[in-house]
Amino acid sequence: MSTVDVKLRRVNLRDESVSEVDDVVTSDRAVCVFINDKFYRTLITTPAMVKELVLGHLLCEGVVESIDDVEALEVDPLKVWVELKNDVDLDLINMGKVDLITTACGSLSAPPREDQLGSLRRAPEVRVEAERIWEMVTELNRRSDLYRSTGGTHSAMLCSLDGTVRAFAEDVGRHNAVDKVVGAGVLGGVDLGRCVLVSSGRQSSEIVLKVARSGIPVIASVAAPLESGVNIAKATGITLVCFVRGRRMNVYTHHGAIVV
């Protein structure tokens, strides 16, 4: 279940009234991930699309390069067991994760140093109509039922360049929502290099870095970018579009990809 029923006391200062109200809040669970029988990380998530979450997380965090690296993935129900074809150094992957406090709510990766940016995957060059971007964000908002009922989630959506929706997810974490739709796209055989990642959350380096690793060339967000996110987008060729609201949008990087 993605929500749980609660009873609350609502205080209204306008008329100094107090009333008992039935409401719903978003569920969150701790999902422990094990790789090759070793503990990897605990993800705090809305308990839906867990398989997609873990697969997308491994891809977007650079643990694997493609779905072909994954031998098996078993969800059981709050533990996920992943078997990779090759051994990975989990100590190296997790090194320093407690030494840096980031803006992330689901990603523990430190932003890459400037001298590391050249090693990141370069996004393919694409062109997408501005009207399609607006329609994608409108559709993201339309589908965000869990947010409307609880106010406690972020949304992400994966779309083809023509606006066709390939995957949609809501989660308590904006990073988790991105991981889920990337994982769903990979499982569905979607060509991520011909897609737009649509997001409700702000675009920090952690989010943009996830998208860069996945090979998606365009990000469209309702929210704001951070300087770190703009820098990653510039370095990797990603077109970063933010503040898509009220028939307006700001294109921060690689402006030529957006056709007006």
- Residues marked active site are found at 105
| CA dihedral of residues 250, 253, 255, 259 (deg, nearest 10) | -60
* Separation CA 36–CA 84 (nearest Å): 6
Which string of b and e fits 129-149 if b means at least 16 CB within 10 Å?
Answer: ebebbbebbebbbebbebbee
Q: Beta-carbon neighbour count of residue 160 at 10 Å? A: 16
* Beta strands at 195-199 and 218-221: parallel, antiparallel or unpaired: parallel
Biggest CA-to-CA distance, the chain: 65
How large is the angle between the packed helices 50-60 and 205-214, nearest 10 degrees? 90
* Separation CA 66–CA 33 (nearest Å): 18
Q: Which amino acid, residue 49?
A: M
| CA dihedral of residues 67, 207, 255, 191 (deg, nearest 10) | 20
Paired with 73 in beta bridges are 82
User: Do residues 209 and 174 make contact, with C-beta atoms less than 8 angstroms apart?
Assistant: no
